[in-house]
Amino acid sequence: MHKRRPFNKYVLVLVFIALAAVLYSFNFHGLHKGKKDNMILMRLVVGPLQVNCFIVADEKTKEAVVIDPGDDAADILKLIREKDLKIKYIVNTHGHFDHIGANNAVKEATGAAILIHEADAQLMASASSHASMFGMKTAASPPADRFVKEGDVITAGEIALKVVHTPGHSLGGISLLGQGVAFTGDSLFAGSIGRTDFPGGDLKTLLRSIKKHLMTLPDDTKVFSGHGPASTIGDERNENPFLNKDSGFE
120 binds Zn ion (CB under 5 A): no
The answer to whether the beta carbons of residues 92 and 103 sit under 8 Å apart is yes
Binding of residue 165 to Zn ion (CB under 5 A): no
Among 58, 71, 72, 98, binds Zn ion (CB under 5 A): 98
Pick between residue 157 and residue 185 the one whose CB is nearest to Zn ion: 185
Asked if 226 interacts with Zn ion (CB under 5 A), we say yes
Q: Is 101 in the site for Zn ion (CB under 5 A)?
A: no
Select from 58, 72, 120, 186 the one that contacts Zn ion (CB under 5 A).
Answer: 186
Cα separation, 126 vs 96, in Å, equals 9
Neighbouring C-beta atoms of residue 66, cutoff 10 Å: 31
Which residue, 169 or 213, is less far from Zn ion as judged by CB?
A: 169
Q: Which of the 8 DSSP states describes residue 70?
A: -
Nearest distance from C-beta of residue 93 to Zn ion, angstroms: 8
Residue 68 engages Zn ion in binding (rule: CB under 5 A): no
| 123 three-state secondary structure | helix
Distance CA 219, CA 99 (A): 27
Which of 89, 93, 96, 131 touches Zn ion by CB under 5 A? 96
63 binds Zn ion (CB under 5 A): no
Cα–Cα dist 194/85, whole Å:
31
Say how far apart CA 69 and CA 249 lie, in whole Å.
32
> Segment 23-52, which members bind Zn ion (CB under 5 A)?
none
Query: Could you tell me if 96 and 186 are in contact, meaning their C-beta atoms sit under 8 angstroms apart?
Result: yes
For the bound state, the minimum distance from the C-beta of residue 244 to Zn ion, rounded and expressed in Å, comes to: 23
Alpha-carbon 230 to chain mean position: 9
**130 lies in the binding site for Zn ion (CB under 5 A):** no
List residues near Zn ion by CB under 5 A. Answer: 96, 98, 186, 226
